[in-house]
Amino acid sequence: MNYRRAFLRLLAGYALLFLILTSGSAFAQNGGELRFCLRSEPKTFDPLLVDDDSSLSIRYLTGGVLVRVNRHTQELEPELAESWKVSQDGKQITFKLRRGISFSDGTQFFADDVAFTMQRLMDPALHSSTGDAFRSGSGAVSTKIIAPDQISVTFPAPLAGLDRLFDQVAIMSARSPKKEAAVLGPFMVAEYKAGSSVLLRRNPNYWKKDSHGRRLPYLDSIRLDIQPNRDVEMLRFKRGELDLINVIDSDYFDRLAATSPQLAHDAGPSLDSDFMWFNQVASAPIPEYKRAWFRSTNFRRAISQAINRDDLSRVVFNGHAQPAVGPVSPANKFWFNSRLKAEPYRPDAARQRLQADGFHLQNGALFDKEGNPVEFSIVTNAGNKPRERMAVMVQEDLGKLGIKVNVVTLDFPSLIERISQKFNYEAAMLGFRNVDLDPNGQMNIWLSSAEDHAWNPQQKSPETAWEAEIDRLMRAQASTADPKKRKESFDRVQEIVAEQAPFIYLVNQNALSAVSSAVEGANPGILSPQTFWNAERLTLNASARASR
């Protein structure tokens, strides 16, 4: 009888062991090591000084934030803050914090950590680009600790979309001797080999648990290899040495999809856009008659109508791009003006617009009303193959109207110097890598006084009525906390941009990524970081875990 009981106990033990060893993610606390590449050296591990993609990735994986924009739904979700409330005037935000949370080094998390972080973030001596987003007007930002788990932050002027800005603020400890090494996120930096790799390990004190009550993250560690060469990155991915590629080009994507379609993910149009614009700066060293062309709405609209965006999407991006509508990608669900459509390819309409401005054809070449041949150069950055191909296609499209376009590729520093300091260019083609859903992130582009108002920056007063109207609308949307009113204002901005074409939007590239079949729980999206936005819930399958 005893033997029988012992045998049954042994059997039950083996069964339990078998279940544990063969179970999936429900038991997958030992999630193994995820591996992917950073394309450059991280410039800093200080979460408040982050300004580059690699440091951003590390901040996302290690930093704990009060609220988080869900990269899939685009909705704001509570994190370290249980709840929050923005005041009617948009100047103050009050957070109710979770209790019983510790930093990775065991230091307790309280409201004074939030106060410390905000004071450091807003210190002008720190020169934090994250902090710049919070600078609403002259005057100091003040914090008030209402209780150990409650804090309010007051700004000198209203900040539209205030709560969403906290998605970028990783809370630092006010008391920990480890400073930025003490983190509240799912992982912590364990090892950094300059020029080689960054190793992140699971934060043992991470506060979040899954629906089964198991502490997150599932993974043991993440190894980030520093690898700027995309060919090498793809080869390593194909060999199974890497688990993710966050962003890949359409060429690589198609090659991967041809052999392993289950690994290639196209999440649809991203927030990024490629566009071109004409130099309208009054003091630019370009002939006066060309400035007159570039300042003509008819001319800009004609150019826009003569570009075949469908061809650009299909030929340059192998169909992994959509003709761009305007400054907001359709991927930005809330802020996109759905009444607008991408400019269709209409060369005949373009010719009519040019004729209305006095342009005429002569022996196949286009001349303006003063008899000047229509010829201009498009500068773009050397080395960006898709952009160079787009420029060549635009060159051919405009050639059909009799316009001679010279494509000039320049190294990036020379290009930036020309378009932002010397204004010694005629037209430029660049891209906008948008990480912010809120239009406030584009204030530096749309205000006529802004430095990044590319076609005619730093105007003392708006030089055109439509720019004055954009200024008014952008300020109006920034000064109210009412999302509906903000949307109305920004919708109108998008309409004016479509009517005036200061930027000629070309395409929105799709968010393309690669995820190894070894990774479980991945759901690539369009917002950065596309593949590891839910890193705390990613696991590796049993065979991948066993091999590492």
Partner 1 sequence: MNAARKLACVVVLAVCAVSLAANWLAPAGYAKQFREAPSAPPSRQHLLGTDEVGRDRFARVLYGTRISLLLAPAAALVSTALAALIGGLAGYLGGIWLRLARGFTDLFLSLPWLFLLIAVRALLPLNTSPLVSVLITFLILGLLGWAASARVLSTSADALRNSDFVLQARASGLHGPRLFFVHVLPNLKPVLYAQFWISIPVFILAEANLGILGLGVAEPLPSWGSLLRELEGMISFREEWWRLAPLLLLIVVMTSFQTLLSNEEVTA
Q: Which residues bind partner 1 (CB under 8 A)?
A: 230-231, 234-235, 249, 251-252, 255, 311, 314-316, 375-377, 379, 382-383, 385, 388-389, 391-393, 395-396, 404, 406-411, 414, 424-426
Q: How far is the CB of 401 from partner 1 (least distance, A)?
A: 15
The answer to whether the beta carbons of residues 409 and 372 sit under 8 Å apart is no
Is 78 or 399 the residue whose CB approaches partner 1 more closely? Answer: 399
Is 178 or 255 the residue whose CB approaches partner 1 more closely? Answer: 255
Is 406 or 458 the residue whose CB approaches partner 1 more closely? Answer: 406
Q: Which residues pair with 513 in a beta bridge?
A: 265
d(CA 219, CA 208): 14
Is 29 or 424 the residue whose CB approaches partner 1 more closely? Answer: 424
- What is the bridge-based pairing of β-strands 33-38 and 221-226? parallel
Is 37 or 234 the residue whose CB approaches partner 1 more closely? Answer: 234
Q: How far is the CB of 299 from partner 1 (least distance, A)?
A: 17
Q: How far is the CB of 378 from partner 1 (least distance, A)?
A: 9
Is 104 or 280 the residue whose CB approaches partner 1 more closely? Answer: 280
Three-class SS state of 221: strand
In sign, the C-alpha dihedral spanning 126, 132, 138, 142 is negative
Three-class SS state of 1: coil
First to last CA, the chain: 44
The answer to whether the beta carbons of residues 530 and 246 sit under 8 Å apart is yes
Nearest partner of 479 among 159, 230, 208, judged by Cα: 159
Q: How far is the CB of 34 from partner 1 (least distance, A)?
A: 24
Is 376 or 455 the residue whose CB approaches partner 1 more closely? Answer: 376
Q: How far is the CB of 291 from partner 1 (least distance, A)?
A: 14
Burial of 178 per CB tally in 10 Å (0-12, 13-18, 19+) = middle
Is 97 or 307 the residue whose CB approaches partner 1 more closely? Answer: 307
In sign, the C-alpha dihedral spanning 424, 430, 436, 442 is positive
Q: How far is the CB of 349 from partner 1 (least distance, A)?
A: 20
Q: How far is the CB of 113 from partner 1 (least distance, A)?
A: 46
Nearest partner of 36 among 198, 181, 265, judged by Cα: 198
Is 197 or 409 the residue whose CB approaches partner 1 more closely? Answer: 409
Q: How far is the CB of 247 from partner 1 (least distance, A)?
A: 15
Q: How far is the CB of 127 from partner 1 (least distance, A)?
A: 29
d(CA 103, CA 179): 11
Three-class SS state of 189: strand
DSSP 381: E
Amino acid in position 175: R
Is 49 or 393 the residue whose CB approaches partner 1 more closely? Answer: 393
Q: Residues 6 or more apart from 518 whose CB is under 8 A from it?
A: 240, 243, 540, 541, 543, 544
Is 201 or 404 the residue whose CB approaches partner 1 more closely? Answer: 404
Q: How far is the CB of 306 from partner 1 (least distance, A)?
A: 15
Radius of gyration of the chain measured on its C-alpha atoms: 27
Is 59 or 309 the residue whose CB approaches partner 1 more closely? Answer: 309
User: What Å distances lie between residue 187 and 9, 223, 230, 313, 517, CA to CA?
Assistant: 39, 11, 26, 38, 23
Q: How far is the CB of 271 from partner 1 (least distance, A)?
A: 25
Is 8 or 235 the residue whose CB approaches partner 1 more closely? Answer: 235
d(CA 392, CA 278): 17
∠ at Cα 356 (354, 362), nearest 5°? 50
Which residue stretches of 343-431 are H helix? 347-356, 385-399, 412-417
Q: How far is the CB of 284 from partner 1 (least distance, A)?
A: 12
Q: Residues 6 or more apart from 5 whose CB is under 8 A from it?
A: none
Q: How far is the CB of 248 from partner 1 (least distance, A)?
A: 11
d(CA 90, CA 159): 6
The answer to whether the beta carbons of residues 477 and 466 sit under 8 Å apart is no
